[in-house]
Structure formats: structure tokens, C-alpha cells
Amino acid sequence: MIPIFGLLIGIIIGVMVKVPISPLMGRYLGIALLAALDSAFGGLRASIEKKFNDRLFIGGFVSNTLMAVFIVYLGDNLGVELYLAAIVAFGVRLFQNLAIIRRHIFQARHWE
């Protein structure tokens, strides 16, 4: 319950406080957010499957976010839009985790 409460407070603060972000930093922030969402949904999936490990979650969260930002940085320096690869990879994983979570929820409630 505490994580959901923290998420709601974070969303409210994020909506109310307007912080100007440059277009260049917007790409970094967007990719970092996508990687963080992927990790969050992966953690939720692991929790539902009773396989959650907090060290693995934190390690994956940090490494995914840093790797995604590094891919954007590398692409910016090479003049190639590598961030698209990160968007596809994290997007696919995010939707796979969401589908599995949805399947677990519907299987837990037998719709008879």
C-alpha cells in the first residue's frame, strides 16, 4: 500500500510542479522513465508470481535506467538515433509484463 501511496503523491507533485526540460534532456528523461516503468512492471509481475527479490529489483531498476540513458548518449555522440532501439526493447518488455500481470489477475478471479 505504501508504494501506491508514494506513486500517487509523486504523480500529483509531478503534475503540479512545472519544471522546464530542454528537448535534448527530454529524450534522456523519456528513455529513463520507460526503463523505470519496465522495471516497475517486472517487479509487480515478480511479486504476483511470488518471486520478488528486492536486491534484484533495485539492481535491475538502476542498471536498466543507466543502460538506457547510455544508449541515448552514445547515439547522440554518434549521430544515430539509437534511442529508438531502447524504446522498442523496453516497450516490448513492458507490454509483455503487463499482459502476464493481466493474465494472473483474470486467472485469480475465476469468471464463472
More confident residue, 91 or 110: 91
Domain boundaries, the chain: 22-108
> For 16-35, what is the HEC assignment?
HCCCCCCHHHHHHHHHHHHH
pTM > 0.85: yes or no: no
Q: At residue 48, does pLDDT exceed 60?
A: yes
More confident residue, 111 or 18: 18
Alpha-carbon span 111 to 59, nearest angstrom: 37
Alpha-carbon span 70 to 83, nearest angstrom: 9
Q: For residue range 49-73, what is the model confidence (pLDDT) as tens digits?
A: 999 998 999 998 999 889 989 999 9
| Residue whose C-alpha is closest to residue 73's, from 37, 21, 20, 29 | 29
Q: At residue 110, does pLDDT exceed 80?
A: no
Alpha-carbon span 66 to 69, nearest angstrom: 5
Q: What is the mean pLDDT of the chain?
A: 87
More confident residue, 1 or 61: 61
